[in-house]
C-alpha cells in the first residue's frame, strides 16, 4: 500500500490548501512521507506558479513543517519544474520535471488547459498534424535526461489529458509511438523515475492514470522505476486512485521505489 505522495500542490501555486493542511491530511491518512512540489515560477504565465517574490517563503515554510511534524511524518521540499520555467532554486530535496507548455512560432501553447487549446495549436502551428506536436512535446520531455536536478518525470504523456473523455487528438500512429519510445528510452537510460500519476482522474479529465497502459508496458520492459503520485491540488485528492495505480504497476512490472 502506498504511504507517500511527492507530487502535491498548495496555495503557493495553483492548489487549494496550505502546505500545513496537506501535511496534516497525510498524517491522517497514515502516510510516512509527503513532498510538497508546487509549480516553478514561470514568467510568461505566472498565475499558476510560485511567484518569484514568494520562493524564499515557500522554502522556509517547508523547512518549518519538517521541524514541526518530524516526529509524525517525513516532509520533503519539492518543485515541479517546467521545461520553460525559470531556474531551479537551491534548498530543495527533489525536483519533478514536467512539460506543460510548448513554445512554437512565438506562441506559448498550454498543453493541459483544454482540449480546444491543444486542437487549436495542432491546426495553427502544426498544419493539422498532431504527430508533429507530439514529436516536439516528447523531445522536450526527454531533455530532462540531461538535467541532474530532475529525478522524477511528471505525467509523461500529458498531451493525452483530454483523449479519454472526448474524441482523441492523439493516436498510436508509428510516428507517435516512435516519439514517446525514443523519449522513454533516453530517460530510462538516464536513471529517471516515472510517476504513475492519478491527478487527471481526480479532476474528472481521465479514467486512468498517466502514462497509458501501452507506455507503462514498454517502460516495464525497459526496466523503468516508478512512483505513484496524485498530483493533487487539494488535500481531498491526496491518495486518489492509488489502489488502481498500484495494480497497473504490478501488471506492467514497474518497480515502485521511494525517493528517500
Q: What is the pLDDT, as a whole number, of residue 47?
A: 84
Q: What is the pLDDT, as a whole number, of residue 92?
A: 98
Residue 254 CA to residue 260 CA, distance in Å, equals 18
The cell 509549480 sits on which residue? 39
Is there a contact between 89 and 59 (Cβ–Cβ < 8 Å)? yes
pLDDT-derived band at 46 (thresholds 50, 70, 90) equals confident
Residue 187 CA to residue 13 CA, distance in Å, equals 27
Q: Please report, for the chain, the start and end positions of each structural domain, with discontinuous segments joined by +.
A: 4-256
The cell 523547512 sits on which residue? 63
Residue 165 CA to residue 244 CA, distance in Å, equals 18
Distance of alpha carbon 65 from the chain centroid:
23
Q: Which three cell numbers stand for residue 56?
A: 524564499
Q: What is the pLDDT of residues 54-107, one digit of tens each?
A: 999 999 999 999 999 999 999 999 999 999 999 999 999 999 999 999 999 999
Is there a contact between 101 and 84 (Cβ–Cβ < 8 Å)? yes
Architecture of domain 4-256: Alpha-Beta Barrel (3.20)
Q: What is the pLDDT of residues 113-147, one digit of tens each?
A: 999 999 999 999 999 999 999 999 999 999 999 99
Residue 9 CA to residue 37 CA, distance in Å, equals 6
Q: Which three cell numbers stand for residue 194?
A: 516515472
Residue 39's closest CA among 26, 55, 17?
55
**Helix segments in the chain, DSSP class H:** 19-28, 55-68, 115-126, 130-142, 174-189, 199-202, 213-222, 242-251
Amino acid at each position: 500500500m502506498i504511504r507517500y505522495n511527492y507530487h502535491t500542490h498548495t496555495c503557493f501555486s495553483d492548489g487549494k490548501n496550505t502546505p500545513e493542511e496537506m501535511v496534516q491530511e497525510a498524517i491522517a491518512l497514515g502516510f510516512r512521507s509527503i513532498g510538497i512540489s508546487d509549480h516553478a515560477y514561470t514568467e510568461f504565465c505566472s498565475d499558476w506558479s510560485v511567484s518569484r517574490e514568494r520562493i524564499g517563503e515557500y522554502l522556509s515554510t517547508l523547512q518549518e513543517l519538517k521541524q514541526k511534524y518530524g516526529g509524525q511524518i517525513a516532509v520533503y521540499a519539492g518543485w515541479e519544474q517546467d521545461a520553460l520555467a525559470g531556474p531551479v532554486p537551491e534548498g530543495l530535496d527533489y525536483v519533478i520535471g514536467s512539460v506543460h507548455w510548448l513554445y512554437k512560432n512565438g506562441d506559448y501553447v498550454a498543453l493541459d488547459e483544454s482540449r480546444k487549446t491543444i486542437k487549436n495549436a495542432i491546426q495553427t502551428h502544426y498544419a493539422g498534424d498532431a504527430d508533429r506536436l507530439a514529436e516536439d512535446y516528447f523531445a522536450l520531455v526527454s531533455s530532462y535526461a540531461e538535467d541532474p536536478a530532475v529525478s522524477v518525470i511528471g505525467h509523461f504523456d500529458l498531451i493525452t489529458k483530454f483523449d479519454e473523455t472526448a474524441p482523441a487528438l492523439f493516436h498510436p500512429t508509428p510516428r507517435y509511438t516512435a516519439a514517446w519510445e525514443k523519449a522513454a528510452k533516453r530517460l530510462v537510460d538516464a536513471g529517471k523515475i516515472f510517476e504513475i500519476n492519478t491527478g487527471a482522474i481526480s479532476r474528472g479529465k481521465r479514467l486512468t492514470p498517466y502514462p497509458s497502459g501501452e507506455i507503462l508496458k514498454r517502460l516495464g520492459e525497459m526496466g523503468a522505476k516508478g512512483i505513484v503520485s496524485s498530483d493533487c491540488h487539494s488535500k481531498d485528492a491526496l491518495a486518489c486512485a492509488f489502489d488502481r495505480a498500484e495494480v497497473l504497476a504490478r501488471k506492467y512490472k514497474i518497480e515502485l521505489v521511494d525517493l528517500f
